[in-house]
Amino acid sequence: MKRGFTLIEMMIVVAVLVTLMAITFRIGRVASETEARTITISRMQRLENALSGFHAAFGCYPPVKVHGDRRLLEADGEEIQWGEESKAWAAVERVCRSQPIGCRFPFPPKVRVGKRTVDTTQEINELNDEITQILNSSESTDEYKSLFKDNEPAQEWARNGFRSSYVMSGTLDGKKDKSLWSEVKLFQYGVMSFLLPRYFVMMRSEKKYYASSGQDEDGIETGGYAQWTKNNMNPSDPSDGYRVTWSEIYELVNRYYNNDRTMDDEVVKLRMMPSQAVCARWMPNLDGICKCNYDIDLFGVNIKSDYWNDKGIFDGGQSVVFLVRGLRASCFVPDDSNPYQNQYILDEVTVRDGWGNELYYYSRSPYQSYTLWSAGPDGKTFPPWISRKNLTSSNSAGTSEADRAAKWTMDDIVQLSN
């Protein structure tokens, strides 16, 4: 007669299975952490190669303009409340990103994503609808809700169906004639805007964002938006030295992306402009490491990453959590005191670490050195230019400036210029 398992034997079997599952889970987590760290170090090394190439060509590292404030203050100018970690980190992160890695610019009206052509306005509106429906559904995941936990502005943005974000033309047209319009930064010139051929990457949207004010020869309004012209000198034709207008360059860039072969000779001139052509020297280092919303091929190199943590907002098969993160990462907030209000969803090209967080960059004039770093697995870091000696000393609760700085930088991965 066959004997069944005793209770003790069953308990032993369950204990062994639980132990094996725990070991498997731990091994998987360690492997995942190892992969993320390896990806991070590899990308930082390749960025270092590109930055060295830029220095060799121009005699300095990318002179990224400071966005916002480098002082440790809340957005409203008040002192940071270090005891509240989420709020303290929001303020510190804004300071750490004062010289951003990514470049941002208006979306092209249509882009090629895989084998389909995407109407970007329609696609973003559909993503907004999808996110809003899930937010209001009882099936909302805890991970999704955690994106908005203790963040009232973000919750308000979500309740409004994320609609405050995509008001590009209407909002901008209303502000165009204001005296400080040129300071409303529709373009973000981070590190990648210096390492990539800027015209080919950033000049794919509507003509009015790049052309001078007034009307063209057909009587069509050409814009008058000042950010592009304020931050970019008019180039010269490499064949004859004469000045080239932004309207002409805009037309060439869009003919290039529309595969208009009748203008090949003119597009070659555009590619040969020194500021664009020099990028080909270090472009292979950027092969497949950039977070983009669609494929971007430059000098035969496709810079878009296919790593799962780098999905763009048009990439299919991603969770709502990634959609929300993608939309939020693409939002530019012109008024830091009112986050998630009057935002613009902008296209972007950036480089993230293996954990899905954008890398950090710091270089001060005359830009002969830099610090490139990752916040590590915890996603938190501290500005390297602020001396730890001046921080409030540790306390028993572990919530002082010094405590937060030590905790957040413990797992950072840092690369200094040679």
Answer yes or no: is pLDDT of 24 > 80. Answer: no
Are 293 and 314 in contact by the 8 Å Cβ rule? The answer is yes
Q: Which residues pair with 298 in a beta bridge?
A: 301
- Better pLDDT: 172 or 369: 369
pLDDT of residue 41: 95
Interacting residues of 231 by C-beta distance below 8 A, sequence separation 6+: 187, 189
pTM above 0.75, yes or no: yes
CA distance 355 to 358: 9
Helix (H, G, I), strand (E, B) or coil at 344: strand
User: Phi/psi of residue 205, each to 5°?
Assistant: -100, -150
pLDDT of residue 11: 78
Which residue is associated with the tokens 């000098």? 299
pLDDT of residue 87: 81
The DSSP secondary structure of 260-303, one letter per residue, reads: -GGGHHHHHHHHHSHHHHGGGGTGGGGTT-BB-SS--EETTEE-
What SS3 string covers 210-223?
Answer: CCCCCECCCCCECC
CA distance 246 to 231: 12
Tokens matching residue 182 = 């040129």
Which has the minimum average pLDDT: 229-243, 270-284, 319-333, 351-365?
319-333
Q: How many CB atoms lie within 10 A of CB 154?
A: 16
Rank 234-243, 370-379, 380-389 by mean pLDDT and report only the highest.
370-379
Cα maximum dimension of the chain: 100
pLDDT of residue 335: 57
The predicted model gives 119-140 an average pLDDT of 76
pLDDT tens readout for residues 345-382: 889 999 999 999 999 999 999 999 999 999 999 999 99
Above pLDDT 70, what percent of the chain?
Answer: 77
For 110, the enclosing helix (H) or strand (E) is strand 110-113
Helix (H, G, I), strand (E, B) or coil at 377: coil
pLDDT band at 166 (very low <50, low <70, confident <90, very high): very low
Are 91 and 68 in contact by the 8 Å Cβ rule? The answer is no
pLDDT band at 154 (very low <50, low <70, confident <90, very high): confident
pLDDT tens readout for residues 82-108: 888 888 888 888 889 989 999 999 888
pLDDT tens readout for residues 400-411: 888 888 899 999
- Size of the chain in residues: 418
- Better pLDDT: 131 or 226: 131
Answer yes or no: is pLDDT of 207 > 90. Answer: no
